[in-house]
A and B are shown apart, each in its own frame.
Chain A
Amino acid sequence: MTLLSQYKEQYINQSIQFVVIDLDGKVLESDQTFITLKQDGFIYDVHPFFISYSSILDSTEDSMTYNCVHLGEGDMELITDIRFIKKENHLLLVIYDLTEHYVSYQRIAQARNESIINSELVVLKNIELEERERFKNAFIQNFSHELRNPLTSIISITNLLEKTNLDNAQHQMVDFLKESNTNLRLLLDDILSISMIASGRLQLRNKVFNLLKLLELIAFTYTSKTKGTSISFLMDHDQKIPEFIEGDRLRLFQVLTNLLDNAIKFTEKGTIALKVILNQKRANKVSLRFEVNDTGIGIPSEKINTVFESFTQLEEEGKKGGAGLGLSIVKGLVELMGSEIKAESKSGKGSSFYFDVTLTYAMNLASKPIENTKNKTVDISKLKGDRKYKVLLVEDDERTQMVLFKTLMDTNLFFIDLVNDGAMVFETVINNNYDIILMDVDLPNVSGDQITKLIREFPFKNIKNIPIIGVTANVFEDNVDNYLKLGMNAVVPKPFDFNELLKAIVKLLK
């Protein structure tokens, strides 16, 4: 035998078995290469696969091949290709042992299928998470929105109550009531901020403002706040920081006060400090570090990463109160400013929160007094003319109706009509000459913004041009813009500040 045919014999003979069976499946001959078959036994007793022989007999094909058939038992792998060939009065079976080949193929298929299924599961997981997040934000937004209406009433009625004849004890109770109202309102604003940041609806409004003045305001506020407590407040800023910078003053204020409030909350005694450090100044860019330090209880290192998550509270007993929203608002706002809030802390020694922001600064701006319009009483003398103005109030919430009605009446400047159903507005408007309309946006049937749009499309000039002030708890920036686009002249948020409302009215009636 030549070497070659020896090899050939070795390879082929050891991996191919020939079997002849009769038309009942009885084994006539077998070379027993790897499956031992009893002479005259039925082949399907060896393995249920072989019952297939009868299907072949029934079919019109002369031969049939089955690939990748597992014939092994238990841990013994035997993976074969099997060919049935019809002969006269019997069948020839050729069984190829391809175990090695198929085992390596199985490994590839395993890796492939697993990775496909895993990536599918990741996608599903993400969809689920996003959906939950969306649901959560929508829920929070709707919920805080719903809370604003009753809160508006509570605040306004408290203000009215304050002006009635009260004895000392009652006065004190009203003061407590007012303080609680303010806290509730702040909390509601926080919740809205959080969900707006999370849903990407909050945008920074960058404008040039006086940084030094802002720091002065903060210093004043926190010096007063800590007066008479065992905490002292320190403010320290680099002398070279620019006076005017471009940024979102309100949001920077919110970040710093949230950090300071948080510091106060967790400090029994010692100091809390706000530091502003100049990192770098180049061309018209300046990099500043804002840092808030305290000597409070500190944050254990395992918790330092979770303090910025919504609704976590360092002191689990919750005795410090608050929903723990401040720091997550800080995190979100600082990220919007293109930076990152960092925290360092030693348990029992105190904490330090800081972030670096790069801002544009204006070099040659003369310091001008910051206009403070808030809390200034509105000058209504210009309206004190010969006649009263006719106001249409479109509002469905009874408490808001009552409050608005009473406060407007108290000025002695207005006649007021009331409509509580959006569908009634048109008829009323056509039959009266109103000077101004106060329009709640969230009305049953037709919404206030849609009514506004329809009024603006009226063919009569005197109706078409009536000033309309939207009153709404729906004060997201994009909503407000939309209301203005639809034809409202101004939008006053609920819970409203009466002065703000009056100011808007005065401005539009002039």
Chain B
Amino acid sequence: MQKSKKIVILGHFGVGKTSLIQRFVKDSFSDKYKVTIGVHITKKIVEVNENDSISLIIWDLEGTDEVQMIRQAYLLGTHGVVFVFDVSRPSTFQNLNSDLKIVAEKTPDTPLIIVGNKIDLVIQDELQSLLKDNNIEANYLTSAKTGDAVNEMFTHLATLLNDLT
């Protein structure tokens, strides 16, 4: 059996979690918003270096208003977490740091990547000051629409998880 790692994608609804996965797995994007309920699970084999690959099991979770509400069962056995916010909607990052704290409590000792998505919708300079003003340190700034930094983000996480074992 192929080495496999489970990652969960968390964040408020509508921030582009499903779109990021679709960009990564199928290299496609849709403007239509279909609300995710429950969980969709996809698998993708990711090359982590020249002769090694792992199968990344990506859990696309229903977005919630409150991180606290995430069903615990979904998080069981998670190797990595991606927390996504929408740089164009303040409500999705206004409480980012307290959200992250709750996530860290729910998934202790698990690598966490913070992603600001939809950067195609804001001006670069404004984005930087917005992050600074809200005291946000994002690991990746992505656009599922243009594909910016999407592969890098997932591949980085896969490599990281591979190196941990």
Residue interface mask B82-100, A partner, CB < 8 A = 1: 0000000111000000000
Q: Among residues 7 to 25 in chain B, which have CB atoms less than 8 Å away from a CB atom of chain A?
A: 13-14
Determine if A55 is an interface residue (Cβ-Cβ < 8 Å): yes
Determine if B37 is an interface residue (Cβ-Cβ < 8 Å): yes
A64 to B35, CA, bound (A): 25
Q: Is the CB of A110 within 8 A of B76?
A: no
Determine if A172 is an interface residue (Cβ-Cβ < 8 Å): no
A58 to B62, CA, bound (A): 25
Q: Among residues 32 to 66 in chain A, which have CB atoms less than 8 Å away from a CB atom of chain B?
A: 42, 44, 47-49, 51-52, 54-56, 58-59, 64-66
Residue interface mask B1-43, A partner, CB < 8 A = 1: 1001010000001100000000000000000011101111111
Determine if B149 is an interface residue (Cβ-Cβ < 8 Å): no
A97 to B43, CA, bound (A): 22
Q: Is the CB of B43 within 8 A of A48?
A: yes
Contacts of A55 in B (CB 8 A): 6, 76-77
Q: Is the CB of A69 within 8 A of B41?
A: yes
Shortest distance from the beta carbon of A108 to any chain B beta carbon, whole Å: 9
Determine if B71 is an interface residue (Cβ-Cβ < 8 Å): yes
Contacts of B40 in A (CB 8 A): 70
Determine if B73 is an interface residue (Cβ-Cβ < 8 Å): yes
Contacts of A44 in B (CB 8 A): 1
A462 to B42, CA, bound (A): 88
Residue interface mask A114-130, B partner, CB < 8 A = 1: 10010011001000000
Number of B residues near A (Cβ < 8 Å) is: 27
A124 to B73, CA, bound (A): 36
Q: Is the CB of B35 within 8 A of A120?
A: no
A124 to B57, CA, bound (A): 36
Contacts of A47 in B (CB 8 A): 41
By DSSP majority rule, is chain A's interface helix, strand, loop, or mixed? helix
Contacts of A79 in B (CB 8 A): 37-38
A48 to B21, CA, bound (A): 15
Task: Given A51-B57, A55-B77, decide whether A109 and B37 contact each other with a Cβ distance below 8 A.
Answer: yes
CB-CB nearest in chain A for B4: A51
Contacts of A49 in B (CB 8 A): 39, 41
Contacts of A120 in B (CB 8 A): 89, 91
A105 to B4, CA, bound (A): 32
Contacts of A42 in B (CB 8 A): 1
Contacts of B55 in A (CB 8 A): 48
Determine if A113 is an interface residue (Cβ-Cβ < 8 Å): yes
A48 to B42, CA, bound (A): 7
Q: Is the CB of B35 within 8 A of A110?
A: yes
CB-CB nearest in chain B for A121: B89
Partner of B41, one of A58, A65, A70, A113: A70
Shortest distance from the beta carbon of A58 to any chain B beta carbon, whole Å: 7
A4 to B70, CA, bound (A): 39
Determine if A476 is an interface residue (Cβ-Cβ < 8 Å): no
Contacts of B39 in A (CB 8 A): 49, 66, 68-70
- Best-buried of A49, A64, A102, A121 by chain B (most CB within 10 Å): A49
Q: Is the CB of A70 within 8 A of B91?
A: no
Determine if A279 is an interface residue (Cβ-Cβ < 8 Å): no
Q: Is the CB of B38 within 8 A of A70?
A: yes
Task: Given A51-B4, A113-B35, A117-B14, decide whether A64 and B41 contact each other with a Cβ distance below 8 A.
Answer: no
Spell out B's residues near A (CB within 8 Å): 1, 4, 6, 13-14, 33-35, 37-43, 55, 57, 62-63, 71, 73-74, 76-77, 89-91
CB<8 Å pairs between A and B, sample of 17: A48-B55, A48-B57, A49-B39, A51-B6, A52-B77, A58-B77, A65-B73, A66-B73, A67-B73, A68-B39, A109-B37, A113-B14, A113-B63, A117-B33, A120-B91, A124-B89, A124-B90
Sample of 4 further A-B pairs with CB below 8 A, known A52-B76, A65-B73, A110-B34: A68-B38, A113-B14, A120-B91, A124-B89
Spell out A's residues near B (CB within 8 Å): 42, 44, 47-49, 51-52, 54-56, 58-59, 64-70, 79, 102, 105-106, 109-110, 113-114, 117, 120-121, 124
